[in-house]
Amino acid sequence: MKECSKSIMRRLSDPNFAARYFCGNGIDIGGAPDPLGVYQELFPRMGQVRVWDLQDGDAQFMEGVEDESYDFIHSSHCLEHLNEPSEGLANWFRILKPEGHMIITVPDEDMYEQGIFPSTYNNDHKWTFTVFKTNSWSERSRNLTELVSGLGEEADVQKIERLTSTFRFNLPRFDQTLTPIGECGIEIIIRKRSFEEAQFGGRKPKPGGINDDGFRLLTGFNRPKRPPEQ
């Protein structure tokens, strides 16, 4: 089933996708035959979205794509096909502009492979993924928390989420992605810090301050008073 298309209604319910994540020009790595760009009109701040697939080159290396080329990176179920996902993730992050976002989904090993590897449902899967485990049934398991930490101080992790809302845990083992609603995956969203932010160790507060009148204007409430120090 088309995993990118399945994600659209879920993403439309989160204003961050329209307001922050899918903004500017992007690249959809492994996007054929279900490209994100066909949903451009649903995300008003989305610009041009280039599809990068097998005919364009190995997604592990992204050869020929210059550093900091795109405002956002999208990839739906491609990372598990790479020989070395940590190198692929680093190169995807390399071509992302500072303050842009990388939005990636991968299959969750317990919801998709469900205890058997090589994969019963896709024989080209080279790895299984989990958010974090100290022990996995899969000899090819990768912890996403560890993969993301390898991106260094520029990686500002916005979300790592198991997509369990449509998974039926009580059903016998079968490929639930064959159904119209089953995603069986993990979504990762990483913002790329600017050089200044990375040096500072996080986002700097905006300059200036808000006095009592400004607080009341923005919120409609009076600023709460601090209790006197004892």
CATH code, domain carrying 208: 3.40.50.150
Domain-embedded: residue 226: no
Domain-embedded: residue 201: yes
pLDDT in tens, 130-170: 999 999 999 999 999 999 999 999 999 999 999 999 999 99
Overall pTM surpassing 0.95 (yes/no): no
> pLDDT band for position 205 (50/70/90)?
confident
Residue 62, H or E segment: none
Domain-embedded: residue 28: yes
Q: How far apart are CA 26 and CA 101, in angstroms?
A: 9
Domain-embedded: residue 154: yes
> pLDDT band for position 217 (50/70/90)?
confident
**What does the pLDDT read at residue 230?**
62
Closest to 185 (Cα-Cα) out of 132, 111, 125? 111
The number of distinct structural domains making up the chain is 1
Edge-to-edge strands of the sheet including 96-107? 46-52, 24-29, 70-76, 96-107, 185-192, 155-162
Mean pLDDT of the chain: 95
Domain-embedded: residue 229: no
Domain-embedded: residue 56: yes
Residue 66 sits in which domain range?
A: 3-219
**Encoded amino acid at 17, one letter:** F
Closest to 4 (Cα-Cα) out of 168, 163, 173, 192? 163
pLDDT in tens, 100-135: 999 999 999 999 999 999 999 999 999 999 999 999
Residue 211, H or E segment: none
Domain-embedded: residue 106: yes
**What does the pLDDT read at residue 206?**
82
Domain-embedded: residue 169: yes
